[in-house]
A and B are shown apart, each in its own frame.
Chain A
Amino acid sequence: MYLSLHLRKWKTKSVRSLLAITFPLICFFLVYPFMQTTVQDTAVPIALVDEDQQEFSELMVERLYQEERIRIQLMTLEEMNHVVQTGEVEAGFVLEKGFTESVHNGQINDSIRWIRSERSTFDPFAKELIGAELMRIVLSSKAANVVSGEGVATWEEAYRYAESFWQPTPLFEMEFEQRNQNNPSSSSPVIQISEQIIFALFLLYAWGLGLVLFPSIIREKNSGIVQRIKLMQHHLFYYYAGKWLSILIAVIVTYILSSFGMLLVIPTSLWLPWVIWGVCVLAVTVTICYGLFVLCRHSKNVLVVIGLYSLGSFIMYMMVLSSIDLGGMEVASFFPHVWFGNNPLTYLGGIE
Chain B
Amino acid sequence: MIELVQIEKYYKRKQVLAIPSFSIESGAAYGILGPNGAGKSTLLKLIASIEKPTKGTLYFNGQPYRHVLKQVRQSIGYIPQDIALYPELTVTQQMDFWLRLSWKQADQNFLKKMKRTLRLDEVAHKRLNELSGGWQRKLNLCIGMIHNPNICLFDEPTVGVDIAAKEDIIEWLSTLHNEGKTLLYISHDRYELERLSDHYVVMANGTMLFHGDKSLLQRNKDTILQHDSSHQELTKILSHL
CB of B191 within 8 Å of the partner chain: no
Stretch at the interface among A7-15, A160-168, A280-288: A7-15
Among B49, B85, B147, the residue within 8 A (CB) of A225 is B85
B residues 88-102 in Cβ contact with A at 8 Å: 88-89, 93, 97-98, 100-102
A229 on the interface (CB 8 Å rule)? yes
| Cα–Cα, bound, A234→B80 (Å) | 17
CA distance A225 to B98 in the complex (A): 11
Chain A, Cβ-Cβ closest to B155:
A224
Q: Is A231 an interface residue (CB 8 A)?
A: yes
Bound-state CA distance A1–B97 (Å) is: 8
B101 touches A229 (CB 8 A): yes
A228–B143 touching, CB < 8 Å: yes
Task: Kindly state the separation between the CA atoms of A5 and B89 in the bound complex, as whole angstroms.
Answer: 9
The residues of B that contact A8 with a CB separation of less than 8 Å are 88-89, 93
Asked, given contacts A225-B84, A227-B84, whether A232 binds B76 with beta carbons under 8 Å apart, the answer is: no
By a CB distance below 8 angstroms, the chain A residues around B85 are 223, 225
Query: Once bound together, how far apart are the Cα atoms of A222 and B81, in whole Å?
Result: 12
Quick one: which of B73, B93, B100 contacts A234, CB cutoff 8 A? B73
Q: Is B29 among interface residues, defined by CB-CB distance under 8 A? A: no
Chain B, 127-152, contact with A by CB distance < 8 Å: what is the 0/1 string?
10000000000000001100100000
Taking CB atoms and an 8 Å cut-off, the chain A residues in 182-234 that contact chain B are: 222-225, 227-234
Q: In whole angstroms, how far apart are the Cα atoms of A228 and B84 in the complex?
A: 7
Check A227/B93 contact, CB under 8 A, given A9-B86, A232-B103.
no
**How far is A46 from B98 in the complex, measured between Cα atoms in Å?**
72
**How many whole Å from B80's CB to the nearest CB in chain A?**
4
Given the known inter-chain contacts A1-B101, A223-B83, please indicate yes or no for A231 contacting B88, CB distance below 8 A: no
Chain A min CB distance to B82 (Å): 4
Nearest-neighbour CB distance to chain A for B122, whole angstroms, equals 21
Q: Is the CB of B84 within 8 A of A223?
A: yes
Q: Which of A9, A231, A233 has the most CB of B within 10 A?
A: A231
Contact B86 A224 (CB under 8 A): no
Determine how close the nearest CB of chain A comes to the CB of B134; give it in whole angstroms.
18
* Chain B residues positioned under 8 Å from A12 (CB to CB): 88, 127
In angstroms, Cα B80 to Cα A233, docked, is 17
Q: Which of B16-32 contact A (CB under 8 A)?
A: none
B142-186 contacts to A, CB under 8 A, are 143-144, 147
Residue B70 at the chain A interface, CB threshold 8 Å: yes
Could you mark each residue 215-256 of chain A with 1 if its beta carbon is under 8 Å from any beta carbon of chain B, else 0?
000000011110111111110000000000000000000000
Q: Which residue of chain B is the closest to A13 with respect to CB atoms?
A: B88
Give every chain A residue within 8 A of B49 (Cβ-Cβ): 231
Residues of A within 8 A of B89 (CB): 5, 8-9
Residues 47-97 of B contacting A (Cβ, < 8 Å): 48-50, 69-70, 73, 76, 78, 80, 82-86, 88-89, 93, 97
Chain B's closest residue to A12 (CB) is B88
B98–A232 contact, CB under 8 A? yes
> How many Å from the CB of B78 to the closest CB on chain A?
6
How far is A13 from B78 in the complex, measured between Cα atoms in Å?
30
Q: Which of A5, A13, A228, A230 contacts B80 (CB 8 A)?
A: A228
- Chain A residues closer than 8 Å to B73, beta-carbon distance: 231-232, 234
A229-B147 Cα distance, complex, nearest whole Å: 12
B82 near A1 (CB under 8 angstroms)?
no
27 contacts between A and B (CB under 8 A): A5-B97, A8-B89, A9-B88, A9-B89, A12-B88, A12-B127, A223-B82, A223-B84, A224-B80, A224-B83, A224-B84, A225-B84, A225-B86, A227-B50, A227-B78, A228-B78, A228-B80, A231-B50, A231-B76, A231-B78, A232-B73, A232-B98, A233-B101, A233-B103, A234-B69, A234-B70, A234-B73
Residues on B facing A (Cβ under 8 Å): 48-50, 69-70, 73, 76, 78, 80, 82-86, 88-89, 93, 97-98, 100-103, 127, 143-144, 147
- 6 more CB-based (< 8 A) A-B contacts, given A1-B97, A224-B80: A1-B101, A8-B88, A12-B88, A223-B82, A229-B101, A232-B147
